[in-house]
Amino acid sequence: MQVGIDKIGLFTPNKYVDMVDLAHARNQDPNKFLIGIGQSEMSVADQTQDAVSMGINATMKYIDRIDKDKVGLLVLGTESGIDQSKSASLFVKTALKLKPEVRTFEVKEACFGLTAAVMIARDFVRVHPDQTAIVIGSDIARYGVNTGGEVTQGAGSVSMLIKADPKILALNDGHSAYSEDINDFWRPNASRVAMVDGKYSTQVYLDFFKKTFNDYKKQKNLETSAFDAIVYHLPFTKMGLKANRIAVEDQDQAVTENLETSFEASKQLSRRVGNIYTASLYMSLLSLLENGNLAAGSLIGLFSYGSGAMGEFYSGSLVEGYEKEIDQIKDQAMLDHRKKLTISEYEDVFNTALEDPEDGVVLESDDKEGTWYFAGTQGHVRQYKVK
């Protein structure tokens, strides 16, 4: 029995910053951001969007096309948690009107969180083939105004349905995992912004890629040429470009061109949305499916990296007819319809969102009708509403 991704939905908030504007404001050459980092825009979450609301909005993209009664598991990976105790997934479950029998919880290991959820869901569906699982990654990447990491911020969520006989990507058996207790990036409880040893984090990312990719190929007795595409966790697109260069360094022209072309397709969404931590790898996958022209049966490698640090490489095979399950036009429209912020507007929105609203204050969303949002707290209980 094959188990894998049957549905996928992306959500990003309705505001963005143009990297050329940001470069001018920070006295940088725009090409550093556009080429050196490889980002052209970044989505910005205002106070009304958080890990819960974005996760609901991503799942809403496909919820009407699934049998809700079959969902037996809902796992939300995030490092932008909204409570130290209660799982963000419970708020999502209520909004989605899932049955009370669903098993639901939150997982955390930096950007690896959604891959952890995918693996849990894959094994759950193997044991319970008549049930399905919803897995969500939902995050706001925050380093702070005028910091080195500012250009690598972003906000958004990817939600997927994991199911037997999937319509998009059948997940292959096996994986290669590697972990080490290091301090490349972390966020202490009292801080809304991440702390990072930026250059070190990029070296560890590449080191973990080499380890897990080589180990996976060895385990499965595969050559690099067996992969039609490799998708990467993209904290910024240049990071994936560097990993992809490593993947093709000993390959002939045909393999190199193939993996370079698919990498180009996989980075398009990330270039405009920015880092969405847990969901970034799966946004790369969606971008590849929307822009890549891959044939059914294509083998896709997935490299997941979460600071702290955890790396994992695994693979999946594209299912016949996968194109019918994605909607590039709608995703493009969501990005195109975002409001461009001036840098001072962005700084205001960003800094306001670092604080919780005073208890009892009701927040309103300026997003379009049908969007779920955080409406403030009542008696310190978070309220979620749909516009």
Binding residues: 29, 143, 148, 242, 275
Q: Which is nearer to ligand HMG, 37 or 76 (CB)?
A: 37
How many whole angstroms separate alpha carbon 334 and alpha carbon 159?
16
The piece of 27-35, 53-61, 289-297, 323-331 that touches ligand HMG (CB under 6 A) is: 27-35
Is 212 a binding residue for ligand HMG by CB under 6 A? The answer is no
| Catalytic choice (41, 106, 111, 175) | 111
- Confirm whether 24 is a catalytic residue: no
| Element holding 94 (H helix, E strand) | helix 88-96
Nearest-approach distance from CB 118 to ligand HMG, in angstroms: 16
Nearest-approach distance from CB 200 to ligand HMG, in angstroms: 9
Q: Which is nearer to ligand HMG, 132 or 201 (CB)?
A: 201
Q: Are strands 299-306 and 229-232 parallel, antiparallel or unpaired?
A: parallel
Nearest-approach distance from CB 305 to ligand HMG, in angstroms: 5
- Confirm whether 345 is a catalytic residue: no
Give the CA dihedral 200, 176, 115, 267, nearest 10 degrees: 60
Sequential DSSP letters for 199-218: HHHHHHHHHHHHHHHHHHHH
How many whole angstroms separate alpha carbon 230 and alpha carbon 316?
10
- Confirm whether 233 is a catalytic residue: yes
Q: Are strands 41-43 and 71-77 parallel, antiparallel or unpaired?
A: unpaired
Is 151 a binding residue for ligand HMG by CB under 6 A? The answer is yes
Amino acid identity at 263: F
Which of 201, 244, 266, 287 contacts ligand HMG by CB under 6 A? 201
- Distance (Å) of CA 105 to CA 21, 72, 96, 279: 40, 12, 15, 17
Which of 36, 66, 377, 387 contacts ligand HMG by CB under 6 A? 36
Tell me which residues touch ligand HMG (CB under 6 A).
29, 31-32, 35-37, 79, 110-111, 148-149, 151-152, 184-185, 196, 198-199, 201-202, 205, 233, 235-236, 238-239, 275, 277, 305-307
